[in-house]
């Protein structure tokens, strides 16, 4: 077996007495530990740690790291997640000592530079959204949703209005109804039309004085821009409710349109998707929210404000819902996002979206004759193909295709989401990939169609793990490998 496919643990490599280092003999007299520490702090025996040499240790971890799929090693067409390349310059800038070595409890005086950056980031994100006020605190998109819904709840409470429902199209990301429920609302599902847009009749029939918020993802998770949006937001406002935009798909509309301009009252960004923070595997994210003026008093405290030339953290916000995150959120990701936005500028951001949409449409046009796209043959930054015909005719499922792609060195696309498309394969190439990469991926998808169905059912064939029971793997992980 190739070394980096090895399933050996560091414990298996352990040899008694082996060390990574040798220290010179101590020139101070040894004192027994029990004279230095209270008995309650002493263990009976040393911890059973692996004893290995430095080179074994390095090889073990470097080999493990090469088993990771990452955007730096492989194409990652993961629909909805916007896995675009993260320029290395942002890593360098965010790890400058002045950024990386800050302490969250420093005085405002001693971190004016960082506060200026965050203040500008608030303004920039407000401008891109077309909204008035921004909180950078939420640590991810889902937390942004929850925070904004808590802001909405505080807003209605302040107005003395009792509104209990959040309306959500059935194509929405699962976090939307989850956030509504955690914020104390009842989530009500709104149907989509056959074309994948909001069913206006269904929306009208459910809209009433109980409605607090309508949550929409636009472009939606099918990669379609809902062009009824102005009508929809007007309708919602006539009923005194608010419109929330799930901004995970901002990659498609940067500099082209602004949520505030099409009637949205509040939204979140996923800085780690749209503005290149590294993400995946539960790593740090950042989900700032932007809101209209009337909602601003309820935003989490603190916000960054400027008094003359001085920046400060403003905690004096009596109507605030309070904190949603320790300190100031995931500042390191905000710094990366800030670098990205400032590097590209307004015209560059628009180009990002134009190229993201172009790449997705190119890929769609190359594969749609095999992987049909039920909701039409044009898309925004992503599209949802379906393996339903493959499944019917050749017993090849979306899962088979996704698993087989791993053998060819691709990260699998998102599958079985959104739920409204059977055998969904959701593909988002992003703007950072070349035509050659897109062509190679399309060729591979077409080749898989012709492979033996039985062989595909057992794919992947080249990886250490093939088809784990995913639920069992999450609920009962085996953390020690046994031969």
Ligand X SMILES: *Cc1c(COP(=O)(O)O)cnc(C)c1O
Q: How far apart are CA 472 and CA 478, in angstroms?
A: 10
Q: How far is the CB of 165 from ligand X (least distance, A)?
A: 20
Does 302 sit behind a cis peptide bond, omega within 30 degrees of 0 on the bond before it?
Answer: yes
Whose structure tokens read 């190119």? 362
Closest to ligand X by CB, 221 or 353: 221
Q: How far is the CB of 141 from ligand X (least distance, A)?
A: 2
Closest to ligand X by CB, 94 or 218: 218
Q: How far is the CB of 8 from ligand X (least distance, A)?
A: 33
Q: How far is the CB of 1 from ligand X (least distance, A)?
A: 35
Whose structure tokens read 């190359």? 366
Binding footprint of ligand X on the chain (CB under 6 A)? 80-81, 140-142, 173, 175, 217, 221, 246, 248, 270, 285, 287
Q: How far is the CB of 272 from ligand X (least distance, A)?
A: 6
Closest to ligand X by CB, 381 or 391: 381
DSSP code of 459?
A: -
Closest to ligand X by CB, 141 or 460: 141
Closest to ligand X by CB, 177 or 287: 287
Strand order in the sheet with 242-246: 133-135, 289-291, 266-268, 242-246, 211-217, 165-169, 186-190
Closest to ligand X by CB, 216 or 321: 216
Q: How far apart are CA 105 and CA 111, in angstroms?
A: 10
Q: How far is the CB of 140 from ligand X (least distance, A)?
A: 3
Closest to ligand X by CB, 79 or 460: 79
Long-range CB contact pairs, 391-396, < 8 A, 24+: 391/423, 394/449, 394/453, 395/453, 396/448, 396/449, 396/453, 396/456
> How many C-alpha atoms does 2 have within 13 Å on its Cβ side?
9
Q: How far is the CB of 256 from ligand X (least distance, A)?
A: 18
Q: Which residues, at least 6 apart from 278, have a Cβ–Cβ distance to it below 8 Å?
A: 71, 86, 272, 336
Q: How far apart are CA 302 and CA 299, in angstroms?
A: 9
């Amino acid at each position: 077996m190739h070394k980096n496919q090895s399933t050996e643990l560091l414990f298996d490599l352990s040899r008694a007495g082996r060390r990574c280092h040798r220290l010179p003999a101590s020139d101070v007299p040894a004192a027994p530990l029990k004279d230095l520490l209270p008995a309650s702090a002493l263990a009976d025996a040393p911890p059973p740690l692996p004893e290995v040499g430095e080179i074994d240790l390095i090889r073990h971890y470097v080999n493990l790291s090469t088993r990771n799929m990452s955007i730096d090693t492989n194409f990652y067409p993961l629909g909805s997640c916007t896995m675009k390349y993260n320029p290395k310059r942002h890593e360098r800038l965010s790890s400058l000592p002045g950024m990386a070595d800050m302490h969250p409890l420093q005085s405002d005086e001693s971190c004016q530079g960082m506060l200026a950056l965050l203040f500008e980031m608030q303004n920039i994100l407000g401008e891109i959204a077309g909204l008035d006020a921004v909180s950078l605190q939420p640590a991810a998109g889902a937390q942004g949703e929850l925070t904004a819904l808590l802001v909405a709840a505080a807003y209605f409470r302040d107005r003395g209005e009792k509104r209990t429902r959040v309306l959500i199209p059935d194509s929405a990301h699962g976090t939307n109804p989850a956030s509504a429920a955690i914020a104390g609302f009842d989530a009500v599902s709104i149907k989509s039309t056959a074309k994948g847009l909001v069913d206006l009749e269904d929306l009208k029939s459910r809209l009433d004085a109980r409605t607090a918020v309508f949550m929409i993802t636009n472009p939606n998770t099918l990669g379609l821009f809902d062009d009824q949006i102005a009508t929809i937001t007007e309708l919602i406002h006539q009923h005194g409710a608010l419109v929330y935009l799930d901004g995970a798909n901002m990659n498609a509309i940067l500099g082209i349109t602004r949520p505030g301009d099409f009637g949205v009252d509040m939204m979140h960004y996923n800085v780690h998707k749209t503005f290149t923070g590294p993400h995946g595997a539960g790593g740090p994210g950042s989900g700032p929210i932007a809101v209209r003026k009337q909602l601003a008093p309820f935003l989490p405290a603190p916000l960054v404000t400027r008094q003359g030339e001085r920046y400060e953290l403003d905690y004096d916000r009596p109507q605030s819902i309070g904190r949603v995150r320790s300190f100031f959120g995931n500042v390191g990701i905000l710094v990366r996002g800030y670098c990205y936005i400032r590097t590209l500028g307004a015209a560059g951001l628009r180009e990002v979206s134009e190229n993201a949409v172009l790449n997705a449409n190119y890929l769609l046009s190359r594969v749609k004759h095999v992987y049909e796209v039920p909701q039409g043959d044009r898309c925004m930054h992503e599209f949802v193909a379906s393996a339903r015909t493959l499944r019917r005719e050749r017993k090849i499922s979306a899962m088979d295709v996704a698993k087989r792609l791993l053998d060819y060195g691709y990260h699998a696309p998102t599958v079985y989401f959104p739920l409204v498309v059977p055998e969904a394969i959701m593909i988002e190439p992003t703007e950072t990939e070349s035509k050659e990469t897109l062509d190679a991926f399309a060729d591979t998808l077409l080749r898989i169609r012709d492979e033996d169905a039985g062989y595909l059912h057992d794919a992947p064939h080249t990886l250490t793990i093939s088809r784990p029971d995913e639920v069992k793997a999450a609920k009962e992980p085996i953390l020690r490998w046994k031969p």
